Amino acid sequence: MLDNTYPGELPLVLQHMLERDQADETTASLPRRSFLKLAGVGGLALGVFPNLAMAQSTAAVQPAGALKASQQPSAFVQIATNGEVTVTINRLEFGQGVQTGLPMILAEELDADWGLMRSRNGSSDAAYMDPRFNLHITGGSNSIKNSFTQYRELGARTRAMLLAAAAARWNVDVASLRTQIGIVMGPGGRKLGYGELAEAAMALPVPENVTLKDPKDFRIIGRPTTRIDARAKSSGRQDFGIDVRLPGQLTAVVARPPVFGAKLSSMDDSAARAIKGVKAVLRVPLEGGAEGVAVVADGYWSAKQGRDALKLQWDTAAVEKVDSERQLAQYRELAGRPGPLHFDADMAPLQTAPLKLEAEFVFPYLAHAPMEPLNCTVQVSEGHAELWTGTQFPGVDNAAAARVLGLKPEQVKINVQTAGGGFGRRGVSSSDSVVLACEVAKAARGVGLNVPVRTLWSREDDIKGGYYRPMHLHRALIGFDERGKVLAWDHVLVGQSIVTGTIFGGRVKNGIDPTAPEGMREPYSLPMRLAVHHPKLNVPVLWWRSVGSTHTAFVMETLIDDIARATKQDPVAYRMQLFGDKHARHRAALQLAVDQSGYGKKQLPSGRAWGVAVHESFSSVVAYVVEASVRDGQPVLNRVTAGVHCNLVVNPRSVEAQVQGAALMGLSMCLPGSAITLKDGVVEQSNFGDFTVARITDMPEFSVHIVPSAEPPTGMGEPGLPPLAPAFANAVAGLTGKPVRQLPFKLA
């Protein structure tokens, strides 16, 4: 199903690179040579993460033909005597629905009773690696896409073992048996529930080859299904990482410098130590050579009071102080220089093009701002450590924790916790929040506090703490004719690289981070020259839900509309013309949205206008037809109709939820106050009072329609986000007569 992966974040180009790296691997774990290919070229030095390869290779190498750890039912399926089936999830659940989607896939082949299906979180054990990448990862909308066949086979193997156990008990040929909703049926009306057979079944050899169902026989996959965790989440009973409670546990909060990378010059902690409940005040290292101060107490409130009482002086003299106004001027200057080329079409036709269009786009830094702030609980004992955190990269975090704590990767266990959102922020190759928690736990242990320590970020820590979607500037000069045929498109993109210095840094080629221009030009066959500049600034940056498409989709889809308007063409018809006889999925998604919205057929109320956009990201296509208006000088999104092509759907309700959630996040980018800005190196925003996110009152009337398909599932965590803002902007341009060139929208 396409609904199930995280909003967050592994860029499509990096997925393709991982796929190429894994193409020749046949072992059960990631061999060291693959790690070297992935990270050693120029991205992550082995000295930084010396244990990453080992942490990703804790399973023994299997002989040729043997099943991998990720194919063994014993690691994923637990059947209780009452017939309840608990499925272990090999991904982080943080709102995208994997705790339902993956069990649905397994239950289909197991022929289980859906009412008895349960799910639980996995860990950093090798069994829970992505079966395609051989890495622990939740990202890039890959959960269902990459584990669809894996979980089908797990269910089918478990079913085969149950049948074999029943055949042995009844002393009959297994071919005479069948299953029916959690029961093995035998000759003469004999029946045995799965719970009665489970112990014997799990002791049998695991079949290597199994026959999977014909999709026409699916009874669970494709059925709209309420999520397993819906009741717990709607009633407040769901536990997240922030809710971990262990005997003797303490809580730490950390004071950070106001400017990234600054060091502590002086500290007076006497008032903090006097706060009731404060156990220790500890200096701890932070990323980039910075320093922080951790206040450890018996609860969050006393720790926060202690932090507020600290008197700290910071040395910011040696670090760059980024300023948003100066940064924009710098970007504009860079855009006027020659740069490395991602596309290099002939620009000579620009000189004689009968029509020309010039445009500059500005996109700000964006915070991820998940509802659950970052947190990590660490328990250290002699020769062992255990962590509890919501993480997209448990294997990477395992290696980082081992390095900080002076342990071997196999001496560290990460228990993946359900997380309250992430959008990429919980998938950082530097493992910043985990490293910090381990540094705090180590320092606490050094002063005699041999107890679990939960390091907890406040909302302000989260908003001001870095790892933002980078600021970008785009500049375009387009030449075209009266029919809208693009003759030459000269384009420049300026923005920080998000992969330089990470485990993917070796993929920067010719000075270009491939995640920055992803989404440019496609799906349109256009003669484009695209130059890319990656300035280095003292602001930590990271992927953000839908990665490069957060800005490239807006640029492409608003400029396509501009050309259609300039040549007096309908924007839908113009796009269909550009698709030609290719891009059938784009055409189908767009046509479905058009048909369901009434576009071109119904009369809109006075003061409303249509807006259209379509974009592919993470192998799925989403088209939006929107209705918008302007009220009191502010744009209002009134109605959204989505056409979605994500191939075979596991759970239509999850697809609908993911599209709605992603669209609302895309709407947030458009609203005033939705930018992260810096003044003299200090982030100016700190909480939802000054960093806008869309609220329930901003939610438009919304309908989601899915193109039927039997092809293997693609992703849905992120694809719903990119086309929302340009569709909205195109509607606003239709009302005002002026194109929208920046996010958030600025109409004046």
pLDDT in tens, 600-646: 999 999 999 999 999 999 999 999 999 999 999 999 999 999 999 99
**Are residues 156 and 252 both part of a single domain?**
no
**Model confidence band, residue 258 (pLDDT cutoffs 50, 70, 90):** very high
**Are residues 379 and 248 both part of a single domain?**
yes
**Are residues 230 and 246 both part of a single domain?**
no
Lowest mean pLDDT among 34-43, 112-121, 393-402, 690-699: 34-43
**Are residues 79 and 149 both part of a single domain?**
yes
In a domain, residue 190? The reply is yes
In a domain, residue 402? The reply is yes
**Are residues 37 and 56 both part of a single domain?**
yes
Number of domains in the chain: 3
Kindly state the average pLDDT of the residues 539-547. 97
Residue 8 has pLDDT above 60, yes or no: no
**Are residues 185 and 226 both part of a single domain?**
yes
> What does 296-312 look like in DSSP terms, one character per residue?
EESSHHHHHHHHHH-EE
In a domain, residue 746? The reply is no
Kindly state the average pLDDT of the residues 566-584. 97
608 lies in which domain range? Answer: 336-366+467-736
Written as six digits, the tokens of 381 are 């004992």
Written as six digits, the tokens of 691 are 């960093």
**Are residues 664 and 711 both part of a single domain?**
yes
What are the tens digits of pLDDT across the range 425-467?
999 999 999 999 999 999 999 999 999 999 999 999 999 999 9
**Are residues 292 and 211 both part of a single domain?**
no
**Are residues 97 and 121 both part of a single domain?**
yes
Residue 88 has pLDDT above 70, yes or no: yes
**Model confidence band, residue 556 (pLDDT cutoffs 50, 70, 90):** very high
Residue 3 has pLDDT above 50, yes or no: no
Q: What percent of the chain has pLDDT over 90?
A: 90
CA distance 252 to 248: 13
Q: How does strand 608-617 pair with strand 678-679?
A: unpaired
In a domain, residue 134? The reply is yes
Mean pLDDT over the full length of the chain: 92
CA distance 193 to 110: 13
Q: Residue 30's pLDDT is what?
A: 32
Which residue carries 């300026």 as its tokens? Answer: 494
In a domain, residue 415? The reply is yes
Q: Residue 589's pLDDT is what?
A: 98
Q: Residue 18's pLDDT is what?
A: 54
**Model confidence band, residue 24 (pLDDT cutoffs 50, 70, 90):** very low
Kindly state the average pLDDT of the residues 672-699. 96
**Are residues 452 and 476 both part of a single domain?**
no
What are the tens digits of pLDDT across the range 326-343?
999 999 999 999 999 999
CATH of the domain at 301: 3.30.365.10
**Are residues 392 and 511 both part of a single domain?**
no
Q: Residue 16's pLDDT is what?
A: 55
Domain end (from 393, 424, 456):
456
Residue 32 has pLDDT above 50, yes or no: no
Kindly state the average pLDDT of the residues 511-528. 96
Domain end (from 456, 486, 516):
456
Contacts (Cβ under 8 Å, ≥6 apart) of 18: 38, 132, 133, 135
Written as six digits, the tokens of 291 are 């320093």
What are the tens digits of pLDDT across the range 722-739?
999 999 999 999 999 999
In a domain, residue 745? The reply is no
**Are residues 299 and 350 both part of a single domain?**
no
Q: Residue 66's pLDDT is what?
A: 85
Q: Residue 504's pLDDT is what?
A: 84
In a domain, residue 205? The reply is yes
Residue 46 has pLDDT above 80, yes or no: no
Kindly state the average pLDDT of the residues 666-679. 97
Q: How does strand 341-344 pair with strand 278-285?
A: unpaired
Whole-model pTM: value is 0.92
Q: Residue 586's pLDDT is what?
A: 98
What are the tens digits of pLDDT across the range 481-510?
999 999 999 999 999 999 998 888 888 999
Q: Residue 39's pLDDT is what?
A: 30
In a domain, residue 421? The reply is yes
Domain end (from 214, 234, 254):
234
